[in-house]
Structure formats: structure tokens, C-alpha cells
Structure 1
Amino acid sequence: MAIQVLSFFTGAGLLDLGMHQAGFDVVWRNEYHIPFVKGFKHGFAKMHDACIDDFPVCTSSIEDLTPYSIRQEAFSSKIWPDLFGVIGGPPCPDFSVAGTNKGSFGDNGKLTGLYFDQIVGLQPTFFIFENVKGILSNLKHREYLTEQIHKVSKDYVFDIKIMNSLDVGVAQDRERVIVVAFHKSYLHDVINADDLKELESRNRLLLSKLLHPNSYKKHNWFTWPTINKFENAKSNFEWPTTNPFGAEEITRPKNLPLELCVGNYLENLEHLDNQNEFFTPKSDKFFLVEEGDVSRKSFKRLHRWRYSPTAAYGNNEVHLHPMLPRRISVREAMRIQTIPDNFSLPREMTLSNKFKTIGNGVPVKLANHIAQEIYRFFDCPTYALGN
């Protein structure tokens, strides 16, 4: 039987999709923003050729949820299963370098604390926490994250890593902090006592080192997903810079993997839903910005033979198409986020909400690779301990 998962801050369900592809069963979802709920339901119904009512979502605020109410909604037997997980990426603008930088005092920032409170109450077998790099790179935010991990350190062993989606084959420079944790009561039954003590020792070191940037990395123990040919892709390949806009042919450098080039994902889209949906403001800049010029805050133009900057869209600021005088379409943004082509968003959903929910999500391919490693851990708990 598939391991059941509870999903917080579901959005369009991109993290859920990655978990599902790896064999997990997401049985309960919580999303407060109604337009995102409608987008999620429509997308999953289209994928499964089902009715939107087959994908219920709890729309209560996370502040109003209790372990008892979640159990009543999530599990048909009304009792906790032997194994289950919790996943979530709380909204991150308050920790983002380009965001408000309010940290734990912001309306979004405090949601990270509430997420960890739910972990304490629910006591899942494992959990995943995902957020922007800024939650570790900024001292004030790092202190806040350390406080949250302290909340659960009595019951869990955890590992933490800054992952770039590029390194697992996503054509996007997207660095995110990922925390993966397993409950000690589960590990007590499946690994020997010495290994558990070793993990607890590493966790004490991790907690003490979190306040010192980059010094915690050597204490990792979980087998984080890597794909050798993509590892450190941003620095290991010679990427093209800029070319005049409108150039008909630009030869792809031979050493660049096609999987990491945006141009690979902008073909054969005409028959897909959401392809003809894009912002169409009029500006001379659509013709003047060079292909690959991402130096400015706005009007960043993608390069067909390079990866995309982070897909973080908002306020109509969506990246420009490499070869056409317009912004990329909803479908093109989905492709960059590795969302399956049979997933679509409803016609009546506003463009702003479509781009926002796409940009908020974890690339499906990255989510799937992390989920696969967690699945392997449950299949063979000792395989990760030799790192």
C-alpha cells in the first residue's frame, strides 16, 4: 500500500505531483487561496480524466487546523496510519532577497512557524519543508529556521540542503532550501541503535552549525538526489550570453545538454491548453531586449540555449520569449516548471493567478527526485547512512 501524505500550502499541487509520481498517495491537501484551489482541482481532474470533486481540498487557514480535525478529514479509518508523511513549502516572499524581507514578522513568514507547529502536533513518520535560499543566507532568517527545527529535533532526525533544480535536469536556475526529516520512533525499529545515535550526533552538529553559512554541509547524511551529468551545471558548462533579438538561427554549443536549454521546451505547444494565454502589454522593449539579456530587474529575455532564471512571476512580470516579441505563455511557464502537458489551468482563472501559482511551486521533476530518495529510504532505511 502506498505511503499516505498530507500536503500543506498545496497551490497548484506541483510538490504533490512529484510525490505521486514516486509512488506516494497524497490523501489530504490544504490551500487557503481559492483561485489556487480551483486551479489545482482543474489540473488534477484533467490529468486523471476525472471530476474536480474527486480532489477535495481543505480551505481552512492553517491557524485554525488541529491534528484531530486533519485526522478526521484525511484518514477514512479516523486513526493514524502506521506510516504517513507531511509536505509543504510555506509562502516565501518574506524570506526572499527580492521580496519583503520581513522574515518571521511578515504575514507569510509566520506561516513557516505554523507549519512546524503542525509537524509537532501531527507527528508524521517523515516531513519535507521547502523554502527560498534566503531563509538560510540571511542571518535573521536563519535564526528563525533554526528555532523551528529545534521544535522538532526531540522527535526527528533531519537533513538540510540547498538544491538547485538545474542539478537534476530542470532548465531553471532555482535554488531552494529543502529539509527532510524522519521520526526517531520509526528509525528505532528499522536501523540499529548505533546508527541512530550517529544520526542524532550529526543533527546536534547541524543545529549548532546552521548559524554559520555553508559550515553545516559536511554533516549531511541523507542521500540527496544527484544526476552526474547535470551536477554543478551552472558552473560546469560554458553557457551562451546574449544574441541580437530576432536571429533566426543560433547554433547550440555542442557540449550543452539539451535538457537544460529553454528552447527544448518551447516546441510543439500549439495543440496544448494554456499555450495562447500570455500578457500582451505594448512596449518597444519587446523588440529591443537581446536574447539572453537577464541583467535587468524586469524585461528579462530567455535564451533558447540556456536555462531560465528562477520562475518567480508576479505583477505581470513574466520572462520574455527568446524568439518572439512577447512574454512567455502559461503553457511555456509550465514546461519550464516541468509540469506534465496533460495538466492545465481553467480558462476563467486570471493570468496573474495562473503565473503566480506556477511560479510558487516546486519544479515537478525536482520534487519527484526528492520523493524517490525518500521512497528508497523507506524501502531500505540503511542505504543512506554511509554518506
Structure 2
Amino acid sequence: MASVQNSNSIPILSFFTGAGFLDIGFMQAGFKTIWSNEYNINFAKGYASGVSSMTGEEHKISNMTSIIDLGPNQIAKEAFPEGKLPELFGIVGGPPCPDFSVGGKNRGHLGEKADRGRLSQVYVSRILELQPTFFLFENVPGLLRNGKHREFFNHLKLQLSTDYLVEFNILNALEFGVPQDRERVFMVGIKKKWFKKQLGIRNIPREYEWFKWPVDQRYKDAKKRFNWPSISPYGMSPQQPMDIPEELMVGTYICDLEKLKSLPNGLDGLKPKSDKYTVISEGDVSRKSFKRLHRWRYSPTAAYGNNEVHLHPVEPRRISVREALRIQSVPDTYILPVEMPITHKFKTIGNGVPIKLAFVVATAIRNMLEIKEGPNDTY
């Protein structure tokens, strides 16, 4: 059986890189981003600052051209200047998703703004053209839950299934130790020819479980499993539940006020005043905007760039940039640049995959690549 090279050297090409949260999860799982692509100049600056400060090594976006205008030959030349694609490399990315979400008015693959829906098809085309050993496609659950979007998703999956074994699933960050109710669709694929060679077989039985989705028993079914507190009048001191893991409650991360304000990005925030800041109850997240977090609950999905305002549980203000980063499970060593506009900081944070979730998915992919045994029955 062919051997997998050292996991630390498995290269990935990152599309729609944004702030780099997905990349960081893969880095922590033993992959290396050798090429990245981000169209938004502010997001690119955030990536360079944040990933560099966190790793202690210089990182920057490789290419800032839209992938619509960026062909596979140029990508391959930039990523692999030696002129030959390696046997083992991957492509990861999550195309912009507003056109597949409720908040984005469900315009679908024909979305008007910046060809957002179209980018999903272009991303799949680049995968098929570059033929990586494996790929990851990440998006909102609306791609599966809305009938017309599901049809488009199935069309993408069918294209990929010619050359790849493909699996998909909806994972919630809350079930992996992130203090946030954030569901995302992950579609994973591995090249059939490579996998057969790896296993030393000619055909892979239909029932063979080639990819195992991550599960953390500590947090499985967390929304239903734990007795979450309801709303409390603002300014009160609700009692902390004893049966809920501390890492699933936002108060664990954003209520040490003095420490937070002393951290980088700790004072970054939007300052406008509103009478709602002292009226909305702690834990009232029923509105489209002006949702007040509850210190002993998880946060709703971080979507700070879509006209959604999240209020601090115990202070009459919006949450800060550092608090938003913590809710996305980003380490305090990750620092966004001072000169980056606040709105872009919140937008790129809200767009990212929580690092803890990215890590467990990346680890599952690494385990898939390092598989040692094939099915019992080989044909």
C-alpha cells in the first residue's frame, strides 16, 4: 500500500480565505496552506495580520483576483512553481453564502450581488480542473434545506462524483466546544483513483465507510441535552447552571471585562448609542437584530456583517471585536490590524468557520488520508 507522506507537509490551496479561520484549523491539524485567494482587500489585510501574529511567521494572501477570472493553469503555476502537481494535496474553501441563506433572501445560484451564487459553481469547476487529492466545500445549511438550493447542491455534487467519493453533512459548532449555535454544511471528497491505489483495490464497495464525521460525545445534541436558562431582565445576576460545560457559555469568554479590554482588539467596537442597549433582556435573541447574549447560554450564529447587532450580556453596548473573535474560538494571539475598518473586522469574523470546528473537520480528513486498512472484501 502506498504510504501517506508526513501530515505536516500535506499542502492545501485555500479559496475564499477571508480571515483564515478555516486555514488555521487545517494548520493545527497538520496541513500547510501553500496558496490562498481572497478578493476583499480588507479581509486580506486581516488574514495577514491575524495569522502572522498567531503563528509568529509571515503569512499573506497569495492572489487577490476573483476566481471567476483566475484559471486553473495560473493557480497551478502560482501554487506549484516547480511545474508539477504533487500526488497529495487538497483544496478547501467556503464560497460566499448570502444567496443560500434566509438572511440573504434566498436568491440562490442566480444571486445578483457579486455573482455570489455563481462562485459555488466556479469553485467546483476549479476543483475538477485542478484535480486535488481531496477537497472541502463549506456553506450554510440553507443549501440543503431549501428545495431549489438543494437541487443546485445536488448538481454540484453530481459533477464532483465523477472523479471523487463525496460525502456531506451538517455540523453544529456548538457540538464541538464552541459557544455558538452555528450550523454549516460540509462536503468532503477524495479522489477515487488515489484512494483505490492507497487501499490496494480495484473497486470500493458502496457500503464502505471511507470517511468518518467527527463527533464529540461531551457536546453531542448540546441544544437539547442541557437545561439552558431563558431570558433575565437586564442588569440582574442570573445563577450559573451547574450541568452545562463552561466552554459552551459565552460568559466564560466575554465577561472578564478588565482582561478583555487590555487585550489586542479588546476596545475595538461600534460606539453608536441606542435606548435598546438597556431595555432588551439578557438572553433575548428573538429579533432579527439587537440580540442580547446570555452569559450562561451559547451565542446565536455570528453574523455581524449582515445588519445584525449582538449586545453584551452585562454591559450596555455591542460586543467588541475581541469578544466576537472569542465566540468564534479564535485565540487571543490572533490580532486584526488597527487600521482595518471596524465594520470589516466584524464582517470577516462573522464569515469565518469557528477554528475549533475547522480543526475537527480537518482532523477527520487527515485520518481519512492516513487510512491503513481497506474493506474486508476487495473486488
TM-score by structure 2 length? 0.92
Q: In structure 2, what is the equivalent of residue 158 of structure 1? A: 166
**Deviations along 1:132-172, whole A, 9 cap, x unmatched?**
01000001000001111111111000111011111111110
Aligned to 1:263: 251
Q: Contact conserved, 1:377 with 1:384, CA < 8 A, in 2?
A: no
Asked whether 1:135 is paired with 2:143, we answer yes
> Which of 327, 330, 344 pairs up with 2:318?
327
2:217 is aligned to 228
Pair 383,251 (structure 1): closer, same or farther in 2 beyond 3 Å: farther
| CA distance in 2 between partners of 1:186 and 1:306 (Å) | 44
Does the residue aligned with 1:108 lie in a helix, a strand or coil?
helix
User: Corresponding residue for 1:5?
Assistant: 12
1:195 & 1:3 partners in 2: Cα distance? 25
Aligned-pair CA distance for 1:71: 1.4
Among candidates 85, 88, 100, match of residue 105 of structure 2 = 100
The CA deviation at 1:348 is 1.0
Q: Is the 8 A contact 1:88 1:130 kept in 2?
A: yes
The DSSP-based 3-state class of the residue aligned with 2:36 is strand
- 1:230 corresponds to which letter in structure 2? Y
Counterpart-to-counterpart distance in 2, 1:324 and 1:195: 60
Find out whether 1:250 has 2:238 as its counterpart.
yes
Question: Which residue number in structure 1 is paired with residue 74 of structure 2?
Answer: 69
Specify the alignment match of 1:57 in structure 2.
62
CA contact (8 A) 1:159 1:221 kept: no
Give the deviation of 1:352 after TM superposition.
Answer: 0.9
Q: Does 1:175 align with 2:164?
A: no
Contact 2:14 2:23 in 1 (8 A): yes
1:60-93 deviations in Å (ceiling 9; x for gaps): 1101222211111112422101100000000000
CA offsets per residue over residues 187-209 of structure 1, 9 Å max, x none? 1112254761326xx8xxxxxxx
Q: Greater shift after overlay, 40-49 or 374-383?
A: 374-383
Distance in 2 between the 1:89 and 1:346 partners?
23
- When the two structures are superposed, what TM-score results if normalisation uses the length of structure 1? 0.90
- Look up the SS of the partner of 2:128 in the other structure: helix
2:53 match: 46
Aligned-residue offset at 1:298: 1.1
Name the Cα RMSD after superposition: 1.8
Q: 1:125 aligns with which of 115, 130, 133?
A: 133
Q: 3-state DSSP class of the match of 1:148?
A: helix
Worse-superposed segment, 113-122 or 307-316: 307-316
SS of structure 2 residue aligned to 1:198: coil
Shift of 1:235: 0.6
Note closer, same or farther for the CA distance 1:330–1:385 as it changes in structure 2 (3 Å cut): farther
Structure 2 unaligned spans of 5+ = 1-5
Distance 1:10 1:383, change over 3 A: farther
Which amino acid in the other structure matches residue 137 of structure 1? R
CA spacing shift, 1:293–1:384, aligned 2, 3 Å: farther
| Structure 2 counterpart of 1:25 | 32
Partner of 2:283: 292
Identity %: 50
Q: 1:296 to 1:347 in 2, by over 3 A?
A: same
Which residue, 278, 286, 299 being the options, matches 2:269?
A: 278
Counterpart in 2 of 1:205?
A: none
User: Given that residues 288 and 308 in structure 2 are in contact (C-alpha distance below 8 angstroms), is that contact kept between their aligned partners in structure 1?
Assistant: no
State the Cα distance separating 1:316 from its structure 2 match: 5.2
For residue 130 of structure 1, give the secondary structure of its aligned residue in structure 2. Answer: strand
The number of residues matched between the two structures is: 364
Secondary structure of 2:204's counterpart equals helix
SS of aligned partner of 1:323: coil
Specify the alignment match of 1:88 in structure 2.
93
Shift of 1:385: 10
What's the CA shift for 1:378?
A: 1.5
- Aligned partners of 1:135 and 1:145 also within 8 Å: yes
Alpha carbons 2:15, 2:38 under 8 Å: kept: yes
- After superposition, what is the alpha-carbon deviation per residue over 1:210-254, rounded to whole angstroms, capped at 9, x for unaligned? xxxxxxxxxx7521111101001011111001111112x322111
Secondary structure at 1:6 match in 2: strand
- Relative to structure 1, the CA distance from residue 283 to residue 250 in structure 2 (aligned partners, 3 Å threshold; closer, same or farther) is same
Is the 1:279–1:316 contact (alpha carbons within 8 Å) kept by the matching residues of 2? no
1:377 corresponding residue in structure 2: 368
Work out the CA distance in 2 between the residues paired with 1:303 and 1:342.
Answer: 25
Shift of 1:315: 5.2
